[in-house]
Amino acid sequence: MMKNFRYGTDKLTIGTAMALTRGELHGTLSAKARHKIDQSATFVDSIVSQNEVVYGINTGFGPLCDTIISAEDTTKLQHNLLKSHAVGVGNTLSKDIAKTMMVIKVQSLAQGYSGIRLRTLERIIWMVEQNIIPVVPEQGSVGASGDLAPLSHLFLPLIGLGEVYYQGYIMSAEEALRAQGMLPLQLGPKEGLALINGTQFIAAHAVHALYRMHNALEAADIIGAMSLEGLMGSYKPFDARLHQIRPFPGNQLVAHRLWELLHKSEIANSHPDCGRVQDPYSLRCMPQVHGASRTAWLHLKELTEIEINAVTDNPIVLGAQEAISGGNFHGQPLAIALDYATVAAAELGNIADRRSYLIIEGRYGLPKLLIQDAGLNSGFMIPQYTTAALASENKSLCFPASADSIPTSLGQEDHVSMGSISGRKLNKVIDNLEYILAIELLYAAQAMDFRRPLKSSEVLESCHELVRTKVPFVNSDRIFSYDIKKLHQLISSGSFVRKANEAAENYGYHLNKTIYDAFSIG
């Protein structure tokens, strides 16, 4: 990966956005970007000096767009905008999502169509580099006219207002700036509007959801393969020839991964004539179900990478005599895709719950409830209650927020996307999905132990061994929530998938063929 990212010049990907957020990549402004930024600010100054009437530069906002503001009041107008629009409520965003919002906003403004001043952008980049992260409530955006409320909270610290995370504490922005020997900024014409108009709240949630869902998709294939091994299922439904005649790329990728994970397994090859004609759908149809979720993920990735490299504020400044008031701030392009991905993530949880249920039924030579002394011990009965509860909760979160619209701004903004809700819901579904996968992994590892002395493939044995370093085999009842927590951490941190990929590389497996590069995180 590159060492430096040039805002406004280089293309932002999901991977680079996350690297900038984590401090693994340094963000700068190229000479070309600096020139365009200065030029755009000069255009705005020209509009103000010539008394041209342009929305948001020398007019009020929303339904007040016909109210003309004098040149001497333009700075006060921008400060008032940030203060009046900071109306967010609810829990605060994670520091990572708030920081990603800043990264994406800089990428948008650095393209030189927003009239922002260079010193303002440099201050935001400085805050990112110093890890001074604004405190942003997660509710209040309707996903059109930009994510106004959360972006207002995000940029209040530029003018010395609001709160920030600083050196492990939450404190006033003024106090944090003073500790760094910095003064609040005085915003110029249009700067406040450029800062709060845009889709960065929606886009940041999409970036984090894509990163997390990619990990969940990878984990689901591996855990599903482990479950199939525990249930003595067949790998024949993953034959590439079957998927060549229904060539959905996501399905083909999953089928390829499952084939690679299973076809060298002692367990899988120990029962060629067992008499089972077909496995249940949750085993046999993993390529079709996991693959469909990968297709939805890819669609969201493609749209998100357009969005995080786009200019989404309003009006767009094209020259000293031309500023166009349009609707690039409207969140609908991502809102629909986020809702689609929410269903896709929920479906991963649905099928994982079904595999978990299969494992405890006492079929195919496994003991009922996955424990030898059932009766005295409840065994693995109750963790599946949790997967059922989480899968059901996810279903309730699948109603598309983008199907709703409530007019705002006295009817001036009469159709909104609600994409901010779509983004939050997707991340909540992924929260639940990671726990469902953790419980399936708990079950799958136990089931594989009942197949000893037979072994699975080298990759799946490596994954099983990793599980057993965290959670021992279950002989009698214990507090399973501790086990679930450990395996959840293993999955959500990415450690489980990394272990599988390392083992695949060491043993010559090809889990992620280059023909499927579009499905990588970038």
Asked whether residue 59 carries a pLDDT value surpassing 80, the answer given is no
How large a percentage of the chain has pLDDT more than 70? 96
Which domains does the chain possess? 5-197 (1.10.275.10), 205-272+279-312+331-402+421-519 (1.20.200.10)
What's the mean pLDDT in 374-380? 92
Coil/strand/helix, residue 344 = helix
Coil/strand/helix, residue 400 = coil
What length does the chain have? 522
Q: For 232-285, give the secondary structure using H, E and C.
A: CCCCHHHCHHHHHCCCCHHHHHHHHHHHHHHCCCCCHHHCCCCCCCCCCHHHHC
* pLDDT for 410: 79
Asked whether residue 369 carries a pLDDT value surpassing 90, the answer given is yes
* pLDDT for 373: 86
* pLDDT for 66: 65
Catalytic residue among 7, 55, 340, 516: 55
Bigger pLDDT: 320 vs 404: 404
- The residue among 205, 220, 206 whose CA lies nearest residue 253 is 220
Beta carbons within 8 Å of 197's beta carbon, 6+ residues apart: 56, 145, 146, 148, 151, 312, 313, 314, 329
* pLDDT for 46: 86
Instruction: Output phi, psi for 32, to 5 deg.
Output: -65, -45
* Backbone torsion region of residue 275, taken as left when φ is above 0, otherwise alpha when ψ lies between -120 and 50, otherwise beta: left
Displacement of CA 131 from its chain's centroid (Å): 20
pTM: 0.96
Beta carbons within 8 Å of 126's beta carbon, 6+ residues apart: none
Asked whether residue 1 carries a pLDDT value surpassing 60, the answer given is no
- The residue among 420, 363, 495 whose CA lies nearest residue 101 is 420
* pLDDT for 412: 79
Q: For 278-317, give the secondary structure using H, E and C.
A: CCCHHHHCHHHHHHHHHHHHHHHHHHHHHHCCCCCCCCEE
What's the mean pLDDT in 69-73? 70
d(CA 457, CA 408): 58
Considering only the C-alpha atoms of the chain, give the largest distance between any 2 of them, rounded to a whole number of Å: 86
Bigger pLDDT: 37 vs 315: 37
What's the mean pLDDT in 390-415? 92
Active site residue 55: yes
Contact 397, 428 (CB under 8 A): yes
64: pLDDT confidence band, cut at 50, 70 and 90?
low
Residues 161-196 have pLDDT tens digits of 999 999 999 999 999 999 999 999 999 988 999 999
Residue 361: C-alpha distances to residues 352, 369, 403 (Å): 15, 6, 40
Residues 280-332 have pLDDT tens digits of 999 999 999 999 999 999 999 999 999 999 999 988 999 888 888 899 999 99
Asked whether residue 408 carries a pLDDT value surpassing 70, the answer given is yes
Contact 503, 463 (CB under 8 A): yes
* pLDDT for 306: 98
- The residue among 12, 512, 464 whose CA lies nearest residue 294 is 512
In DSSP terms, 26 is beta-bridged to 4
Residue 214 amino acid letter: H
Residue 286 amino acid letter: M
Lowest model confidence (mean pLDDT) among 207-211, 273-277, 393-397: 273-277
What's the chain's Rg over C-alpha atoms? 26
Asked whether residue 127 carries a pLDDT value surpassing 60, the answer given is yes
Contact 452, 402 (CB under 8 A): no
d(CA 370, CA 362): 7
Q: Tokens 């689609």, residue?
A: 340
> What are the tokens at 433?
């999905």
* pLDDT for 515: 83
47: pLDDT confidence band, cut at 50, 70 and 90?
confident
The CA-based angle 148-152-158, given to 5 degrees, is 150
